[in-house]
Amino acid sequence: MRGDLPRLLWMAAFGAVLGPVALAWGLQHTSGTGASLMLTLEALFTALLARLLYGETMDRRVWGAMLLLLAGGLALVLDQGRQGGNQLWGLLGVLVATMSWGADNTLSRALAERDPGQVVLGKAILGTSATAVLAVLAGDPLPTLGAALGLMAVGATGYGLSLRFYLLAQRAFGAARTGSVFAFAPFIGAAIAIALGDRSGTWIMAVGGLLMVLGVVLHLAESHGHEHAHERLEHEHAHRHDDGHHNHAHDPMPVGTHSHPHVHEPMAHAHPHVPDAHHRHEH
């Protein structure tokens, strides 16, 4: 884990400092519905960075999905721009948050096989320390006990538990596809904002939201398969023996998911796959 410290520092800077600060500022200046929908662009930035840095595949369907997400984001910018400069600046603050979390998501791909609990703990300590220093420098007052407990509950679930599941999903799906699954959360947030009384939505915002839904669904519908070769690989992670890749012997054979150091011998086969820990080959 010590060798991962530089990457963890960058993850904390983007995901635990810049992202939350930009989101908090943006929410103070724009509508909850618009901000929630804009968060969908996190999937766009994650997919583009995963393609640029790791070479994750993006066929025509994925590029179409990214264009739909971008069009939806532009519709939101147009909508908020019509409602005044303050609303637009708030939405752009949320956009900065999505870019930060896209960078965080892509950086975390290399740590997907580490213990998720250790990654969450390390990132939380670094991020909390940095934001606490920023709060002191800015002269922010201490929150009340009730507010502090509420914030801790939000952080434990929306950040800690969420990040743990996110890392486990990256191990199975890759960075880009995990980002698209995660992109359904903003639609839930928008629905909650409307249910709580946010009536700032317009037909332009509705069109933007629809485009984003179509983009996420199109990305998740992608299917990628071809003949490929696996080189010899030795690593440790949670796995099963019914996935066609973990053929090593046990005595007795364990039932269900288990974790231990194991070796993959070279093999070649064809099947639909995603850029998980076993499919990082070039195209």
Rounded to whole angstroms, the Cα distance separating 223 from 61 reads: 9
- For residue 271, the SS3 value is strand
Evaluate whether residue 147 is within a structural domain: yes
Both 144 and 195 in one domain: the answer is yes
**Inside any domain, residue 270:** no
Q: Are residues 68 and 160 in the same domain?
A: yes
121 and 167 fall within a common domain: yes
Say whether 232 sits in a helix, a strand or coil.
Answer: coil
Q: What pLDDT is recorded for position 6?
A: 86
Of 179, 200, 226, which one is at a domain's C-terminal end? 226
Q: At 272, is the pLDDT very low, low, confident or very high (cuts 50, 70, 90)?
A: low
Q: What is the average pLDDT value for the chain, to the nearest integer?
A: 79
Clarify whether residues 45 and 127 are in a common domain.
yes
- Please name which of 134, 162, 132 lies closest in space to residue 148, comparing C-alpha atoms: 132
CA 116, distance to chain mean position in Å, is 14
Q: Are residues 244 and 189 in the same domain?
A: no
Tokens 């939806």 correspond to 72
pLDDT at 99 over 90: yes
Q: Are 244 and 155 in a shared domain? A: no
Confidence band, pLDDT 50/70/90 cuts, at residue 18: very high
177, 196, 226 — which closes off a domain? 226
The total number of structural domains that make up the chain: 2
Report the pLDDT value the prediction gives residue 276, as an integer from 0 to 100.
64
Tell me: pLDDT of 14 over 90. Answer: yes
User: 14 near 101, Cβ under 8 Å?
Assistant: yes
- 208 and 152 in a single domain? The answer is yes
CA–CA distance, 172 with 217 (Å, rounded to integer): 19
My answer on whether 219 and 238 are in the same domain is no
Cβ atoms of 36 and 186 within 8 Å: the answer is yes
Q: pLDDT tens-digit profile of 30-53?
A: 887 888 888 888 888 888 888 888
What residue has token string 């070039």? 282
In this prediction, residue 210 carries a pLDDT of 87
Query: Does residue 183 lie within any of the structural domains?
Result: yes
Q: Which of 29-33, 52-56, 142-146, 172-176 has the lowest mean pLDDT?
A: 172-176
In the numeric block, the tokens 């703990």 are attached to 121
Question: Does any domain span residue 185?
Answer: yes
The verdict on residue 17 lying in a domain is: yes
Q: Check pLDDT > 60 for residue 281.
A: no
Average pLDDT over residues 243-268: 75
Query: What is this structure's pTM?
Result: 0.72
Q: Which tokens in the block code for residue 22? A: 């930009």
Residue with the larger pLDDT of the pair 154 and 185: 154
Is it the case that residue 10 has pLDDT exceeding 80?
A: yes
Tokens of 191: 């629905």
The per-residue pLDDT for 95 is 92
Predicted local distance difference test score (pLDDT) of residue 77: 79
147 and 251 share one domain:
no
pLDDT tens readout for residues 53-81: 877 777 788 888 888 888 888 888 787 77
- Tell me, yes or no, whether 278 lies in a domain: no
Any domain includes 280: no
Residue 166 in domain: yes
* Same-domain pairing of 9 and 68: yes
249 & 218 share domain: no
Q: Looking at residue 97, what is its pLDDT?
A: 94
Domain range for 45 is 2-226
Q: Tell whether 220 and 238 lie within a shared domain.
A: no
Q: How far is CA 50 from CA 28, 158, 222, 280, in A?
A: 31, 23, 16, 12
Measured CA to CA in angstroms, residue 81 lies from 90, 93, 194, 252, 282 at distances of 10, 13, 20, 64, 42
Quote the CA–CA distance of 244 and 151 in Å, as a whole number: 44
pLDDT at residue 96, rounded to an integer: 94
Residue 100 confidence (pLDDT)? 94
**Mean pLDDT over residues 213-238, rounded?**
73
